[in-house]
């Protein structure tokens, strides 16, 4: 079956990379042990508001190392969504629903490697996901180079509110490879690759496409294979500040090509404040079968604006305040982050007024972080 080939290729690549890495784990002598991630607790309240959609909720993370051998992390995330987006108001009626997301991860340090096993589950009234991940981070070359290999397998179950006979599945495979390299005592760089393969139901049960001006249910392919490569550099400028830049190129079998470029600057102020500012520009071309108003009959057709030709400019800032500190015992910080999104669609029209759609949104994150 054609659908299993991308998964088979990813499997083969993963086994090869794993074999090389594990071989390395046994070959390097009794080198020092890589430390486990620090104990940490985070509590967050997040809000997204824009384009008729409001999503708010709390999120929690707790990480604790047990007997200095294994570190366990538990996460919980809630999205209370109130959806009156352009798709929803023009083709259906506004609705409210909750999405619950749980995660559990275990980190195990063996010699120069950190092995992480994670499971996750996400549940909304009509969509549920389960995922399993394995990540290995291996330090080599005197600790100057870190190689990361990761693998995720996820399975989704899709239902439809108002149609109890609808039931479908989707499967996802992700393979990650990354190298982080220390360049100088002040500069770090990294390259990350990720390949994702999806099979199954990849569309939206409620969204409609437009063919010859009339609304028809959308038809998405049942497979998708994507690749992304990202280059990143971060440098300590010496004046208690740092600058970072990154570029990502994405391409997939739906003919979408996307570029992301991001730059950020961080700086300490006084004894207790840390401020970050960043700008991220994203641009993508439309999927092969995407059409705002299709003028022909094709096997696949979609009016999903996520697959259209658009730009996204994000401007963000974060402020962190060192609230309470006891060196060696705990360190509590209060943080606030704001992101402003500006999406301009090139070939998706707002059918309420006939002009290309544009979307402005704001994200607010307020959270406490503690290391203990």
Partner 1 sequence: MNIAVTIRWCLPLLLAGALASAHASVQLSSSAPDFTLKSVAGPNLRLQEQRGQVVMINFWATWCGPCRQEMPHLNRIFDKYRATGFVLLGVNIDDDPRAAADLAAKLGLRFPVLLDTDKKVSRAYDMSAMPATLLVDRDGRVRYIHRGYRDGVEKTYEEQVRSLLKE
Partner 2 sequence: MTSRVGCLAIALSVLAVLGGCAVPQPWVKPYEREGLSDPIMRLNRDALAAKHSEHVRDIREAGRGATGVQGGGCGCK
What token pair was written down for 248?
Answer: 């990502």
**By the rule CB under 8 A, 263 interacts with partner 1:** no
Q: Report the nearest approach of partner 2 to the CB of residue 212 (Å).
A: 25
Closest to partner 1 by CB, 66 or 215: 66
Q: What are phi and psi of 65, to 5 degrees?
A: -95, 140
Residue 24 binds which entry of partner 1, partner 2, none, with Cβ cut-offs from 5 to 8 Å by kind?
partner 1
3 state DSSP class of 13: helix
> Who's near 56: CB < 8 A, 6+ residues apart?
45, 46, 47, 48, 79, 80
Name which of 45, 47, 63, 57 is nearest 103 in CA terms.
63
Name which of 168, 221, 228 is nearest 196 in CA terms.
228
Which run of H or E residues covers position 263? strand 257-269
Q: Report the nearest approach of partner 1 to the CB of residue 321 (Å).
A: 21
Residue 17 binds which entry of partner 2, partner 1, none, with Cβ cut-offs from 5 to 8 Å by kind?
partner 1
Q: What are phi and psi of 14, to 5 degrees?
A: -60, -45
**By the rule CB under 8 A, 5 interacts with partner 2:** no
Q: Report the nearest approach of partner 1 to the CB of residue 24 (Å).
A: 4
**By the rule CB under 8 A, 312 interacts with partner 2:** yes
Closest to partner 1 by CB, 32 or 297: 32
CB 261 within 8 A of CB 247: yes
Rule CB under 8 A: choose which of 71, 225, 226, 291 binds partner 2.
226
The residues that bridge with 104 in the sheet, in sequence order, are 74, 119
Q: Which stretch binds partner 1 (CB under 8 A): 14-22, 244-252, 284-292, 356-364?
A: 14-22
Q: Report the nearest approach of partner 1 to the CB of residue 264 (Å).
A: 22
Q: Under rule CB under 8 A, which residues in 58-87 are in contact with partner 1?
A: 67-69
In 13-69, where do the E strands start and end? 40-50, 53-66
Name which of 346, 358, 217 is nearest 292 in CA terms.
346
**By the rule CB under 8 A, 301 interacts with partner 2:** no
Rule CB under 8 A: choose which of 35, 94, 143, 217 binds partner 2.
143
Residue 20 binds which entry of partner 2, partner 1, none, with Cβ cut-offs from 5 to 8 Å by kind?
partner 1
CA dihedral of 302, 158, 61, 104, whole degrees rounded to 10: -130
Residue 309 binds which entry of partner 1, partner 2, none, with Cβ cut-offs from 5 to 8 Å by kind?
none
CB 21 within 8 A of CB 136: yes
Residue 28 binds which entry of partner 2, partner 1, none, with Cβ cut-offs from 5 to 8 Å by kind?
partner 1
Q: How many residues bind partner 1 (CB under 8 A)?
A: 31
List residues binding partner 1 (CB under 8 A): 9, 13, 16-17, 20-21, 23-24, 27-29, 31-33, 35, 38, 67-69, 140-143, 145, 147, 177, 193, 195, 227, 327-328
């Amino acid at each position: 079956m054609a659908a299993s080939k991308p998964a088979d290729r990813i499997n083969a690549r993963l086994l090869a990379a794993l074999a090389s890495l594990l071989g390395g784990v046994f070959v390097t002598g009794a080198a020092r042990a890589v430390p486990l991630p620090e104990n940490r607790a985070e509590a967050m309240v997040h809000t997204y508001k824009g384009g008729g959609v409001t999503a708010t909720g709390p999120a929690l993370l707790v990480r604790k190392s047990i007997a200095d051998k294994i570190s366990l992390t538990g996460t919980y995330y809630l999205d209370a969504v109130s959806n009156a987006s352009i798709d929803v108001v023009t083709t259906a009626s506004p609705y409210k629903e909750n999405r619950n997301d749980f995660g559990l991860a275990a980190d195990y340090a063996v010699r120069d490697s950190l092995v992480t096993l994670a499971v996750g589950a996400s549940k909304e009234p009509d969509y549920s996901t389960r995922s399993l991940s394995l990540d290995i981070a291996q330090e080599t070359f005197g600790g100057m180079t870190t190689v990361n290999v990761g693998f995720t397998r996820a399975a989704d179950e899709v239902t439809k509110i108002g149609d109890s006979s609808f039931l479908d599945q989707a499967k996802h495979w992700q393979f990650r490879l990354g190298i982080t390299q220390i360049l100088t005592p002040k500069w770090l760089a990294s390259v990350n690759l990720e390949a994702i393969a999806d099979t199954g139901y990849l569309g939206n049960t409620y969204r409609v496409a437009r063919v010859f001006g009339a609304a028809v249910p959308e038809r998405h392919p049942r497979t998708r294979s994507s690749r992304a490569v990202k280059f990143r550099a971060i440098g300590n400028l010496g004046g208690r500040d740092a600058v970072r830049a990154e570029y990502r190129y994405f391409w997939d079998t739906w003919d979408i090509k996307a570029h992301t470029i991001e730059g950020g600057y961080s700086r300490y102020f006084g004894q207790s404040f840390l401020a970050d500012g960043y700008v991220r520009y994203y641009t993508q071309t439309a999927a092969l079968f995407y059409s705002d108003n299709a003028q022909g009959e094709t096997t696949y057709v979609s009016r999903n604006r996520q697959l259209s030709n658009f730009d996204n400019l994000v401007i963000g800032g974060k402020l962190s305040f060192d609230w309470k500190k006891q060196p060696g015992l705990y360190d509590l910080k209060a943080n606030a982050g704001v992101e402003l999104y500006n999406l301009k669609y090139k070939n998706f029209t707002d059918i309420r007024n006939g002009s290309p759609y544009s979307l402005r949104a704001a994200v607010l994150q307020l959270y406490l972080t503690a290391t203990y």
